[in-house]
Structures are given as structure tokens and as C-alpha cells.
Amino acid sequence: MSKAFEPNRLTSYTNEAIIAEIKRVAKKYFGNKCPKTTDFNKYGRVKVNTIIRRFSSWSNAMKESGFAYERRIIEKSDLIEDLKKIKKMNQDKYFTFDFYTNKGGKYSSETLKKRLGYSTWPSMLEGVLTLKKQTKVIIVSKLNQKQLTEKHLFTELKRVWDALGRRPSYAEFRKQGRIGTKVYERKFGTWRNAIERFCSKYRYNFQGTKGSLATKEILLAELRRVADSQLSHFLGGWF
């Protein structure tokens, strides 16, 4: 008889479903004892950081699941050592709270910030580990907008396009581009006009490079364009 299929992620993320998953993991792998966060991430179908966000802390989640969870006083040195461990795992680079928990971080964001005396995650990492959050380099801040030629704009668009291996959506370029999309809109009238001009000049396929897949945003934008075109053509026959 074949083994029943078990999805590797929960199909529902209600409090009840998460508690049931905690109990399942505890019973199947830890003899009905309260699992540590690092151990739970190995077997759970929901990540520890998701549980912490839902229940405010790991201890609260354990208590809601019916486990006796003894809260001990956490030394600041323990918190710092745990952060240093994750820093080393990330090659001494800045990391997010999601990365911290996924790599086995033991404590909640609130516990770390409160005990170490910081109000935000970035300020804590900078103060404790001298890790500064990288900020996007904006070319516009270095060049007057009037100095940004078509070549400047298309060179940056080509960089992002080639990095993705396809045409970037508006949202993707806003996130990854080093020149704001508003600059393109002012220069070419619309973002679409900028893309069309770029494709014409560099002989790129409007929907993406050969063999690539268009994003959901690109497909929806194209469907809207075709629908608008068809509607305009239809209404044109009545006037």
C-alpha cells in the first residue's frame, strides 16, 4: 500500500492549523516534548518565523499548543552570540529577520530588540554587529535629470533586463533599477513608450528575450492593452 501524500507546506495557516502542526511535529519527532526552533524548522510544514509572528513569541505558541514552556532569563551575551553566529553564516553581511529564523536563530525580533535596547531590526544590527542595511544607489541623485540622456536610461534598463533574462515589469524595475521609473515616464511619456523605444533600438523582443517567460504583470498589462484596443475598435464603428 502506497504511503499517503503529505504536502510540505500547510494548506491553511489558521491558529488551529498551526497548533495542530506543532503537536504533530512534537509527537512524531520529539516524543511529545517541546521542540526547539532550530529542530522544528527541520520537520515543520510552517516556518518558525511565521509562528512567531502569529503568536508574538515561540513561548506563546508552545503554551497555546499545550506544552509546559519555562521562560528563562536570557542573558544579553546569549542574544549577541546568536546574532554573531548568523552573521558568520551570512559571510558577515546584513541579514533580515526571516534569514535569521530560517538559519536557526533562537529568539523573536521583539526579544532581541527589547533586550538589546533598539527600536528597529536595522538599527540593532548596526549597533550590535556593525552591519548596515544596504540602500539602493540612485543614479538620479548624482546626475541632474537633464543630464540623463536616452543612453543613460537605456543602459540601466538593459542592465536590469539582462539580469532577469527577460523584460522587467514596472514593479520589478522600480525595485531593481537605479533610475526611477518616473524619469522614464517624463522622458518618453509612459513606461510602455520607453519599453517600445528601447526594444526598437536594441532589437529586443517586447515580451522578453527569446525562450524566456513573461511575468504575470507583463501578461496582464498586455491583455489589458489588447482588450482596450478591441473595445476602441468596436466603439469606433458606432460613431
pLDDT tens digits for 90-117?
A: 899 999 888 898 888 888 888 899 889 9
Q: What is the pLDDT, as a whole number, of residue 41?
A: 87
Q: What is the pLDDT, as a whole number, of residue 36?
A: 82
Positions of the chain with pLDDT lower than 50, given as ranges = 1-2, 137-143, 209-214, 239
Tell me the whole-structure pTM to 2 decimals.
0.36
Q: What is the pLDDT, as a whole number, of residue 213?
A: 42
Q: What is the pLDDT, as a whole number, of residue 51?
A: 92
Q: What is the pLDDT, as a whole number, of residue 27?
A: 92
Q: What is the pLDDT, as a whole number, of residue 189?
A: 92
Q: What is the pLDDT, as a whole number, of residue 105?
A: 87
Which stretches within the chain are classed as H helix?
A: 15-29, 37-43, 48-55, 58-64, 76-89, 97-102, 109-116, 121-129, 150-164, 170-176, 181-188, 191-202, 216-236
DSSP 106: -
